[in-house]
Amino acid sequence: MNKKTQYIARVADQTGQINYPQEENDIWHQLYTRQLDKLPGRACDEYLQGLDAISLPNDHIPQLHEIDKVLLETTGWKTAAVPALISFANFFELLANKAFPVATFIRSKQELDYLQEPDIFHEIFGHCPLLTNPSFAHFSHLYGQLGLAATPQERVYLARLYWFTVEFGLIQSDPETLRIYGGGILSSPGETLYVTGPKPEIKPFDLLEVLRTPYRIDIMQPVYYAIEHISVLDDLAQTDIMKTVKEAIKLGLLPAKFEEKKKVSS
């Protein structure tokens, strides 16, 4: 989260309004409309209900206070405007205080299909709808609390839990029904189609295995983990997650299901 970025977050004026140029509103419109068509039959019901509750505009980037109104009324959460990238400590502290970090910039046309750092479309369209769901919101809050108290090594393992749930989580209530709840998938047209196709491996969620599973942020995931329903996140929040983190650290990582990223020579 401390890597360099080419993007600069926009700052609100004295009224709390962020004035995005028309070009950036047009990018939001393009991202929103093309992704919305791919969600029916793929996104989980809880996400779609949240998307309806938040009622995002399709022709311009929404203001954070508009999102906050719905989140506060449903689960007591709100958003927090942040730069493009923040530290782990800041990230965990915000979640522990029921504030979801939103980088107030939107990707360029050149990176329309893929962006390594999370932008406002990823955060608002991908994640905020599910923050209206009590199970998802409670799990996110607990996760922030755990991360805030964790050691640097433990945070590395906790990052895998977040990756395979909040970012790339799936719901499979039966062998024929697969739905998406991870915001990293829901905000990506390519990954939305990929994950519901024949290629990836989808495994039942197992906390210890998830904590030990390597991942790369710049490829389609070779493996995903599916819970049976969104309330499983409540069950997970009641377990001793940090005890399992310590066990995962002792056991070490599982073999990666992908090739290591090649280092660019200087």
- Catalytic: which of 93, 122, 123, 154? 122
Strands of the sheet containing 170-174, edge to edge, are 177-180, 170-174, 223-227, 201-204
Q: Measuring CA to CA, which residue among 200, 224, 216 is closest to residue 259?
A: 216
Q: Is 167 a catalytic residue?
A: yes
Distance CA 65, CA 71 (A): 10
- Catalytic: which of 46, 93, 123, 167? 167
- Catalytic: which of 93, 127, 140, 154? 127
Q: Is 127 a catalytic residue?
A: yes
- Catalytic: which of 46, 187, 188, 191? 187
Q: How many CB atoms lie within 10 A of CB 176?
A: 6
Residue 251 to residues 49, 159, 205, 209, 223, Cα–Cα distance (Å)? 40, 17, 18, 10, 20
Amino acid at 213: T
Paired strand residues for 80: 101
Q: Which residues are catalytic?
A: 122, 127, 167, 187
